[in-house]
Amino acid sequence: MNTSANKHHLDSQEQKLVILFVFEKMAVPLSEATVLDICTSDNNWLDYMDCKQFLAELIDTNLLYHVPKANTLNITQDGIGCLSMFYARIPSSIREQIQAYINKNRMRYRKKQAYFCDYMKNPDGTYTVIMRIDNDTSTLVEIKMIVSNRQHAMYIYKNWIDKAAGVYTLLHEQLIE
């Protein structure tokens, strides 16, 4: 984990470049919450409020954009161009930390972005579990399942991220092939 000293030595432009660098290295759209987790609580590269402000500024200046029909952001071509021009302004130690962190956590974040699961209690005491697999711009599959109790709902919720790809493959094979 990074020390808090690093974030205070970066000026606002360098901090914005850190955000763009994270998007470029992740190579997938990310929710604002995910970016905040990566840059603030997980690594302490930026302060939370600064990161929120810089995300808004990067959107306003067309360096990031909202992905249509998804609650995610992605880097624009202008953002990629800006990053390539000013890449060297990000200290090499921070670039290395970002690269190492993303190499280690990329699949976990991709799954977290693509596989959604939640559950809610129904008036009759049963639970509805909603499971979804999204791609960059749309929902590939959504399953709503009613289970008899909270324990079953929680079990499905906890297992969805690890099982979603297999469920999708099984549905595809059974229904299409």
Q: What is the mean pLDDT of residues 3-13?
A: 62
What is the edge-to-edge ordering of all strands in the sheet holding 127-134? 115-121, 127-134, 139-147
The CATH 1.10.10 portion of the chain extends over 4-110
Mean pLDDT, rounded, of the chain = 88
pTM: 0.68
Is pLDDT of 3 > 60? no
Predicted local distance difference test score (pLDDT) of residue 137? 67
Predicted local distance difference test score (pLDDT) of residue 1? 45
For the stretch 83-97, pLDDT in tens is: 999 999 999 999 999
> What does the buried/exposed string (b/e) look like for 63-83 if buried means 16 or more CB atoms within 10 Å of the residue's CB?
bbbebeebebbbbbeebeebb
Predicted local distance difference test score (pLDDT) of residue 136? 62
Helix%, strand%, coil% for the chain, nearest 5: 60, 20, 25
Would you state the CATH architecture of domain 4-110? Answer: Orthogonal Bundle (1.10)
The Cα 35–Cα 41 span in angstroms is 10
Predicted local distance difference test score (pLDDT) of residue 76? 95
95, 161 contact by CB (below 8 A): no
